[in-house]
Structure 1
Amino acid sequence: MKTHYDLIVIGGGVLGTFHAYHALKKGLKVAILEKDKMAKGATIQNFGQVVPSGMDSKWQRYGRESLAIYKKIQNQFDISVRQNGSVYLASNEEELQLIEELAQINKSNNYESHLLSKQQCLDKYPGVRGDYVQAGLFFPEEVTIEPKTMIYKLQEYMIQHMGLEFSTNVCVVECENVNDGVFIRSTSNEEFFATKVIICNGSEFKVLFPHLYNNSDLEISKLQMMQTKPQKNYTLNGSVLSGLSIRRYESFYECPSFKTIKSKEEKNTLEKKWSVHILFKQATDGSIILGDSHQYADAQNTDDLGANLDMDIDNFMIQEAKKIINLPNYEIQNRWFGIYSQCKTKDIFEHTIGKNIHIITGIGGKGMTGSAGFSKENISKIFNK
C-alpha cells in the first residue's frame, strides 16, 4: 500500500490540477493520478483564452478569481500567461447594442471594459476589415496562455515548489469508499489510499462509474480548430472574438435585448448547423489559432462524433474568418479537434459517492477560464476549510 494522502485527484487536466493546487495551498498532502503519459484532452486542445467576459455572472466571478491566480503564479514561474486583453467585435447594429448593454453590466459588476469605436478597432487590431467591424468591447485584464504547454509548466511548478506528487500512466479502475477514506487500484495493481478523492475525468466515461454518466444529462461537444502558418511582420494582440461570439456567449444572455435579437436570427444557416463562432488568437510563434465549431452527442454516444475532421466545417470557418480579418496568410499548418463534456441542464456535473469520492466534470468550455477560481471554492467546501 502506498502513502496515505489527504487528497488524490484522478485526472491531470486543468480542472483536476487546480483542485490539487488549492489543496496544496491549504497544506494538504496531495497526489494526481493521470491515466496517460501526459494530459491530452480539452486542456491542451483549446484556444488558450482566459475570458471571464464571456461568462454569466456566477462564472465570471470564478473567472476573475482565475485571472488573479494565473497572474500570481506567472509572477513566480513562467506558465505562458500573457496579459494582452480580449475584444468582441460587433458587426452590425444588433451586436453593437449588445456590447453597449454588456458594458453597462460590467460597470455595475466592477469588471473593467472599454467600448472602442470603429476606428479604434481598426487601429488596435491590424487587418480587421472596415466593412465588418462597427465597434468593439475591450477587456484589458484578460489573458492568453499556450494550451499545449501551460498545464505541464503549472504541474512542474507544483511539483518543484508545492510538494505535489504526480504519477502518469496510472489508469484507475477501482475506487471505493472504505471505513476511513478511499481505496484506489490501477490497471497495473498499484494501490493508493486517500482521505478524499476528486475525480475530474473530462470526457472519459467508460472506465469509472460509467452507469452514472450514461444516466446523467452529460453530453460531449466536439470542436474543430486550426492553426495558420506564422504570420510574418504581423501582430494580433490578445483574443479577438467576433459578432457570432457576441450572439453565443453566456454573458450576453443577461443583456436586456438578447432574447429579442436571438429570436430574429435565421434558423437554417451553416453557423447554426455547426454552432460556429469565429475566434482568433496569435500564438507565440506568430501563427494564428482559428475556430471554432461545436457538434454534440450524449455521454453514452461519444463515439458517434467520430475521429475525423469535417473539412466542410473548416472551409466554412476560413471563409467566415476572411470576412473579419485580412491576415497576411490563411495557410493552415495544423488542424485538430477538442472534446469536452458539459451538462444540458446544469453549469457543471458534481456527484458525491458516499462521503469521500467527489466526481467533478462537465465544466464545458469554461475549463481554462473558470477552473482555478471554481476549484478554490470547491476545495474549501469539500474539506470544510
Structure 2
Amino acid sequence: MTADLVVVGAGIVGLAHAYHAVRKGLRVVVIDRDARAVGASVRNFGHCCITVQDGDALHYAQRGRQHWLDVAEAAGFWAREAGTLVVARHEDEWAVLKDLRAARGPDAVQLLDPPAVQRLAPVHETIGGALLPGDLRVDPRAAVPAIAHWLSRQGVTFRWSTAVHAVDKGVVTTSRGPVEARAVVVAVNHDVDRVFPGLAASIKRCSLHMLQIRPHRDISVRPAVLTGHSMLRYAGFGVSPSLAQVRARIARDQPDAAAAGLNLMLTQRPDGDLVIGDTHSYDDVPDVFAREPWDALIINKIRDLLDIGDFDVRYRWQGVYASATDPFLVAQPSPGVHVVSVTSGIGMTTSFGLAADVVDQLSPALAGTPLTEGT
C-alpha cells in the first residue's frame, strides 16, 4: 500500500492531520491499533476551551475553531457555539475574571451578575461570573467516529486493529504489512514512548477521574461550566495577579481538592446527562485502581455547586493523556516523519489548529505529484 501521508493514531489529533491533508487533495492512510478510537479523544468533556488558552495553545485553538464548525456540518455531528460560563464564588475569583476581561476584551469575556449566572446554570451561591462566548462544545463520543466516517467518504483509508511495529523514512511497518508514504505523522498521545522512547523522556501519563450523572429533574446547562478550581488549570487565567490568592486559598481551605488536582467543571450532553470532573495524577504508568474518595470528592463538590437535587451516577471512568512542561510535542526524528502529541490535556481544543501548522510544515515532503495507488 502507498500513500502521500500515513497518520499513526486515529484520535482527534491524528484525525485532524488527516482532515487537513485530504483537503489538500492528498492520499491519506490512517492506522490505529484498536477497532475504534477509545482513548482521551472520547473520554473528555467535549469542551473546546479556546478563550483561556495562552501562547501557542491560544493560536492553535483560535485557528482550529472554524475547522471544528466546518467538519461538524460536513460530518453531521452535534456541535454548539455555547461558550463557557466561569463561576466566581469568592472575591479573588471575581478579581481574576475582571483581569481576564481587561486582557482579552469585553467581547471575549462578558462579566455577569449573579442573576445572569443563574439564568445560564443552576448554581448555588455566586458573586458573579463570566461568559466566554467564543468557546465550543461537542459530544466527543459521537464527534470522533463521525469525523473518521466522513474522512473515509473523502477517500481516506483506515486500517483499524493494526499494530505499528516501526516507523522509518518512507515506510511504516505494520502487523498487516508495510505502507509506503512520502510523509508520516505519529499521533499516539501518551504512547509516544512505545514508538519513539527517546522523545518521551519528559512525558508523564496524567490520569483523571470523570463521571456522568443524570439529574432526577430536567435542567438545561447550555455552556460548559468552569469554577475557581479551573482557574488553576488553564494558562490564560495567569494574566491575573489574583490567581495566586485563589491558589493559596484552595490549598489552605480545601487540601483534599488541591491534592487531587481538582478541576471542578461540567458539561451537559445532548441527552441531558452531565459529565462532571475531574482529578489529575501523574506517573509513568497510571494506577489502575481508581480511588473512590476522589470520585466522592467530585460528587460532593458538584452537590455544593449545583442546585439540581438528586441524581444518579451512570458512568465512571479514568481518562489518560500525555503531560509535560511544554504543552505540545512536535518533533522530527527522521526526514519526512513527524511525531505530534498534545501534552497538556487540551487536544480537543487545539487539534485542528496544531494539525494545520504541522501539515503546512510537511508541505516540502508532500510536494509533487501524489503517489499512485499501490496494493
TM over 0.5: yes
- Counterpart AA for 1:202: N
Corresponding residue for 1:139?
A: 132
| Larger deviation, residues 216-225 vs 259-268 | 259-268
Q: Which runs of 5+ in 1 are unaligned?
A: none
Structure 1 position 5, deviation (Å): 1.1
1:175-186 matched pairs, under 5 angstroms? 175-177=167-169, 182-186=170-174
Corresponding residue for 1:60?
A: 58
Deviations 1:281-311 (A, max 9, x none): 11111111110000101xxx31xx2222211
Corresponding residue for 2:279?
A: 293
- Counterpart AA for 1:90: A
Counterpart selection for 2:268 from 282, 293, 301? 282
Alpha-carbon distance in 2 for matches of 1:68, 1:280: 23
- Counterpart AA for 2:173: R
Secondary structure of the 1:52 match is coil
Counterpart selection for 1:368 from 337, 340, 348? 348
Secondary structure of the 2:101 match is helix
Is 1:148 matched up with 2:141?
yes
Counterpart selection for 1:320 from 297, 301, 308? 301
1:10-21 matched pairs, under 5 angstroms? 10-21=8-19
- Counterpart AA for 2:237: F
Alpha-carbon distance in 2 for matches of 1:64, 1:148: 23
Counterpart selection for 1:257 from 221, 225, 242? 242
Secondary structure of the 1:23 match is helix
- Counterpart AA for 2:157: E
Alpha-carbon distance in 2 for matches of 1:115, 1:40: 37
Structure 1 position 264, deviation (Å): 5.5
Corresponding residue for 2:111?
A: 115
Deviations 1:31-85 (A, max 9, x none): 1101100111100011110111231143122212222111122233312212222
Secondary structure of the 1:360 match is strand
Alpha-carbon distance in 2 for matches of 1:192, 1:243: 48
Corresponding residue for 1:234?
A: 219
Counterpart selection for 1:347 from 319, 324, 327? 327
Identity between Structure 1 and Structure 2 (%): 21
Q: Which runs of 5+ in 2 are unaligned?
A: 368-375
Tell me, yes or no, if the aligned pair for 2:231 and 2:243 is still in contact at 8 Å. Answer: no
- Counterpart AA for 1:317: I
Counterpart selection for 1:334 from 315, 318, 325? 315
Structure 1 position 362, deviation (Å): 3.9
Alpha-carbon distance in 1 for matches of 2:322, 2:342: 5
Counterpart selection for 1:170 from 162, 171, 178? 162
1:195-214 matched pairs, under 5 angstroms? 195-205=182-192, 207-213=194-200
Alpha-carbon distance in 2 for matches of 1:259, 1:365: 22
Closer/same/farther in 2, CA of residues 58 and 348 from structure 1, 3 Å limit: closer
TM-score w.r.t. structure 1 length?
0.90
Corresponding residue for 2:76?
A: 78
Deviations 1:91-137 (A, max 9, x none): 11100000011011111xx8622111111112222x211x2x11111
Aligned residues, how many? Answer: 364
- Counterpart AA for 1:18: A
- Counterpart AA for 2:321: Y
Closer/same/farther in 2, CA of residues 73 and 59 from structure 1, 3 Å limit: same
Alpha-carbon distance in 1 for matches of 2:107, 2:204: 31
Tell me, yes or no, if the aligned pair for 2:189 and 2:342 is still in contact at 8 Å. Answer: yes
Counterpart selection for 2:120 from 119, 124, 149? 124
Secondary structure of the 1:31 match is strand
Q: CA RMSD in A?
A: 1.8
- Counterpart AA for 2:76: D
Structure 1 position 23, deviation (Å): 1.1
Alpha-carbon distance in 2 for matches of 1:158, 1:145: 18
Secondary structure of the 2:42 match is coil
Alpha-carbon distance in 2 for matches of 1:117, 1:68: 30
Secondary structure of the 2:141 match is helix
| Larger deviation, residues 218-227 vs 77-86 | 77-86
Corresponding residue for 1:356?
A: 336
| Larger deviation, residues 281-290 vs 324-333 | 324-333
Secondary structure of the 1:36 match is coil
Tell me, yes or no, if the aligned pair for 2:85 and 2:130 is still in contact at 8 Å. Answer: yes
Secondary structure of the 1:204 match is helix
Alpha-carbon distance in 2 for matches of 1:104, 1:172: 48
Is 1:219 matched up with 2:204?
yes
Structure 1 position 223, deviation (Å): 0.8
Alpha-carbon distance in 2 for matches of 1:10, 1:111: 39
Tell me, yes or no, if the aligned pair for 1:18 and 1:372 is still in contact at 8 Å. Answer: yes
Where has structure 1 moved over 4 Å in runs of 4 or more? none
Closer/same/farther in 2, CA of residues 151 and 111 from structure 1, 3 Å limit: farther
Closer/same/farther in 2, CA of residues 141 and 50 from structure 1, 3 Å limit: same
